Structure 1
């Protein structure tokens, strides 16, 4: 198959712009040259990828299917190029890091300080995300390392358990639980609760429902909110009970001003925090980050003695 990388880039420019003139300008090509590259790609594949009239440019069904795979190939090549450059530099380059609220407060400060001492030319590009989005970004190569709740059940990822984290209830300051130092988990049977979609953080979701089962109760889920910051705002004005890590709950008053954390017990819901990376990792700086994290630990969660 006589297909070149530049043909993929030309096709993706057409898919982005749906206009040959703009796509050619984007690639600094002439329109005839762009058209020739598309024709060569279509001949190599044996299918028509793009249809056009004097007014409209569209992808064919084959073109739409090919676009998905072409973007993956281009992204993988970009990753390979970046990795080669960073490997050639030895100890310089970038680690794209995902983390959650807890890791941002209790793992990253010491880890990044250690990394800066040992690898001063390494740059960390951090993104705060829930577990599900982090793992998706790790799988597609957007992230190099993810700090998430729960151990992923896939052979594609390697992981290292960092510590156990207790969970708390989060309620508004007007809620009748607000002045209590702790609440048995079973009392949630009588409270409307707020959860999130399981795909956002499977480990936390499963631990909440598992604690309910161990308590012999069923939770009443009155509302679902996926944005952690929005959770604080909703419970500050609604008589709902939300759930968060102890660290997030202890900082909730700073985030929402009108919410408080209430300790849960009998049982105390617990989740594990993991560092996760791809098994077939080619960015040599991932090892540098993991080594710095190991040197900065062991870490300790608030509320755990």
Structure 2
């Protein structure tokens, strides 16, 4: 909504004013934001007023006890956090360019993408930029977005296809689904199993439907095969996916591990007939540049177990 009292300007947005605006939005008030930033309330109000004048919009509804973001304010909050984070990344890249020892490129991955799969996905960097140091860390899905935004992580890998509102993303690899069963399960020893054969099986997942793309992907795969699966959420989180059946020996788990014996023979991984392909999605901060990231996100990735489908 345009504020008729002000004339908008095309000048670049001031980072300090954006930080103060975000603080007011977070605490729903100027006084609490002033306390948090150790500034006077008048200074915060003046800063936000100048930002509104520059943009030609009203950012807050000030009619109630708590200030509330307008539609324009919501749009600014969503973009401001990304813009400020990109500025921090640029400052770090400039410092790194002048440093004698470069910081490692940090890649986070969810437990659904194993360390071995991360190593395969990183093949273009390992061969194309052998002098680059990369650190891979495992994180739960709920922590990935904030880690990318605050610069703790340079690139995140997850099983997903939807793009977070504040981040950029691309699918860079696919891995075929297989099933893991405990030794002694009725499927053990079979060369292959069809998805429809799982209709009477309990399927171990790592989060409830709606909380994990990987769970939703498994649920959708079963429904396309014509049945509603019986899901059980694994009580052990963060371990190798194939280990899920150790505590549920009568159940199966859908994994991307290679076929054959696993975990010292306690688990067997079996090929699925016509296997669905589980995507690996790379997530990063928009408005940033990275030669390392470009190697991973452009073209077919040899770390994929199968060629990238052409969409």
The TM-score with structure 1 as length reference comes to: 0.61
CA contact (8 A) 2:258 2:269 kept: no
Superposed CA RMSD in Å reads 5.2
CA contact (8 A) 1:167 1:271 kept: yes
How big is the shift at 1:166? 5.0
Match of residue 73 from structure 1: 83
Q: 2:270 aligns with which of 257, 263, 282?
A: 263
CA contact (8 A) 1:98 1:145 kept: yes
The answer to whether structure 1 residue 47 and structure 2 residue 54 are counterparts is no
Distance 1:84 1:271 in 2: 39
Q: 2:66 aligns with which of 43, 54, 57?
A: 57
Which residues in structure 2 correspond to 1:156-195 (within 5 Å)? 165=175, 167-171=177-181, 175-177=185-187, 179-185=188-194, 187-193=197-203
The answer to whether structure 1 residue 236 and structure 2 residue 243 are counterparts is no
Q: 1:283 aligns with which of 282, 286, 290?
A: 290
How big is the shift at 1:243? 0.7
Deviations 1:130-155 (A, max 9, x none): 6x9979987998753344569999xx
Q: 1:35 aligns with which of 41, 45, 48?
A: 45
Which residues in structure 2 correspond to 1:69-218 (within 5 Å)? 69-89=79-99, 92-101=102-111, 102-105=113-116, 107-108=118-119, 118-119=131-132, 122=133, 124=135, 126-128=137-139, 143-147=153-157, 165=175, 167-171=177-181, 175-177=185-187, 179-185=188-194, 187-193=197-203, 197=209, 200-201=213-214, 205=218, 208=221, 218=226
CA contact (8 A) 2:24 2:33 kept: yes
Give the unaligned 5+ runs of structure 1: 291-296
Deviations 1:240-280 (A, max 9, x none): 432112259965x59xx9x7334135x26364776847797
How big is the shift at 1:51? 2.0
Distance 2:160 2:19 in 1: 38
Distance 1:48 1:151 in 2: 32
Deviations 1:72-106 (A, max 9, x none): 33223223333333344476134231335454135
The answer to whether structure 1 residue 223 and structure 2 residue 231 are counterparts is yes
The TM-score with structure 2 as length reference comes to: 0.60
Q: Structure 1 or 2: larger helix share?
A: 1
Partner secondary structure for residue 290 of structure 2 = coil
How big is the shift at 1:234? 7.8
Distance 1:234 1:97 in 2: 28
Give the unaligned 5+ runs of structure 2: 1-7, 306-311
Distance 1:129 1:115 in 2: 29
Q: Structure 1 stretch 185-194 or stretch 68-77: which is displaced more?
A: 185-194
The answer to whether structure 1 residue 13 and structure 2 residue 23 are counterparts is yes
Q: Call closer, same or farther: CA 1:220–1:194 in 2, change over 3 Å.
A: farther
Q: Call closer, same or farther: CA 1:85–1:171 in 2, change over 3 Å.
A: same
- Count of matched residue pairs: 276
Match of residue 309 from structure 2: none
